[in-house]
Amino acid sequence: MKKLSLSATDALLNSRLRKFLAIYERSNIHKAAEDLRISQPALTVALKQLEESFGEPLFERSVQGMTPTPAGDLLYRYACSIRQTARLAIESFVEARDGVTRKLRVGAGVAWTTTVLPSALTQLRSNYPGLSVDLLAGVGDQLASLYRKGEIDLFISAGPMVQHDLTDVHRKHLTNLQMIAVADRENPLAQKAKVTAGDLVAMEWAGFYEDESFVHLSNHYMSIRGLPPPRIVMRTNSVAALQAFVRDSGMISILVSPLADATQREGFVQLPLAEPLWNVPMNIFVRKTVYDLPVVSHFIGLIEQQMKHYSN
């Protein structure tokens, strides 16, 4: 039986839309033309025609490349949704034709990819043996970008993500989770009966890379207590590296409760705080076109069940 190629999705997209997406994602018309295997002048003409149809420029041209205008950013959000719908249409066609289970593309923070998700996805695949899963790790901003590009169908992240103006998305609140301070058991703070916010801010912190939401919340936590921002001196996108920083350098880290609990197996302790840190609302963001699929509903149920242990 003939196998559908990756270009099947492109076949459902308008030619100008495909060219626009290539320019936007490469930020360079020459590289976009190479990706599309057309000449640069031909791509320039296609872009000009698209801009004329919209009645305003979609990019600003400079020696640095192609910078999208507000109109370009707006079109990109909807173009990504159209591309994702085309991909889902092709996958649904394959499923109906061949009787195979579709792929599920999941995004989550590194804390989840090492705690809650492996067990949930293992259970999911036991019920859907033909399911193929892509699991991508990243912080909220990165996951939102992957979602807009159509590279993931759903993702788990803290907060409402309203700043990203995501389209075609269903947001479901999962639970509220507590942030917890952890350190190596030999850390001086681990010997104290009570650890204050002042004790925490006096230490160097290790955190996750590009987690700007965490930076904002930790700064706010300290500022309302009249304290300076914490010194986050080591940042990484690896749980193993973060644990090594905390273990070997005397740093502390502030982790969401599932990951904080998991670090106790690595010889870390949860610091006895005089007052609790902040809570984070955990949400799952699901593309509306896949939200009602049984495999997605089952996956959400498994995540909710896993998180009950950590809920406040």
Q: Which tens digit of pLDDT belongs to each residue from 50-105?
A: 899 888 999 999 888 899 999 999 898 888 878 877 776 776 666 555 545 578 89
Whether 309 has a pLDDT exceeding 90, the answer reads: no
The counts of H helices and E strands in the chain are 14, 11
Does an H or E element contain 290, and which? helix 288-291
Q: Give the lowest-confidence range in 25-29, 43-47, 111-115.
A: 111-115
42: which 2 tokens?
């031909």
Domain count, the chain: 2
Confirm whether 206 is domain-assigned: yes
Report CA-CA distances (Å) from 156 to 10, 140, 161, 251, 308. 28, 8, 11, 27, 15
* Interval 259-279 mean pLDDT: 92
Confirm whether 270 is domain-assigned: yes
| Backbone angles phi and psi of 289, in degrees to 5 | -70, -15
Confirm whether 193 is domain-assigned: yes
CATH of the domain at 14: 1.10.10.10
- Output DSSP code: residue 311: -
Confirm whether 262 is domain-assigned: yes
Residue 229: its pLDDT value, please?
96
The residue among 28, 52, 72 that closes a domain is: 72
For 129, counting Cβ atoms within 10 Å of its Cβ (0-12 exposed, 13-18 middle, 19+ buried), the class is exposed
pTM flag (> 0.75): no
What ranges in 37-109 are assigned the alpha helix state H? Answer: 40-54, 70-98
Question: pLDDT band at 217, cuts 50/70/90?
Answer: very high
Confirm whether 164 is domain-assigned: no
Confirm whether 39 is domain-assigned: yes
Whether 11 has a pLDDT exceeding 70, the answer reads: no
Please compute Rg for the chain using Cα positions.
23
Residue 293: its pLDDT value, please?
81
How large is the angle between the packed helices 29-36 and 40-54, nearest 10 degrees?
Answer: 110
* Helix, strand, or coil (residue 255): strand
Parent domain of 196: 176-279
Which residue(s) pair with 105 in the sheet? Answer: 134
In angstroms, the CA 223 to CA 229 distance is 7
The residue among 49, 72, 95 that closes a domain is: 72
Whether 5 has a pLDDT exceeding 50, the answer reads: no
| Average pLDDT taken over every residue of the chain | 86
Kindly report, residue by residue over 128-187, the tens digit of the pLDDT: 888 889 999 888 888 888 888 888 889 998 877 766 677 788 999 998 999 999 999 999
The residue among 72, 91, 118 that closes a domain is: 72
282: which 2 tokens?
């955990």
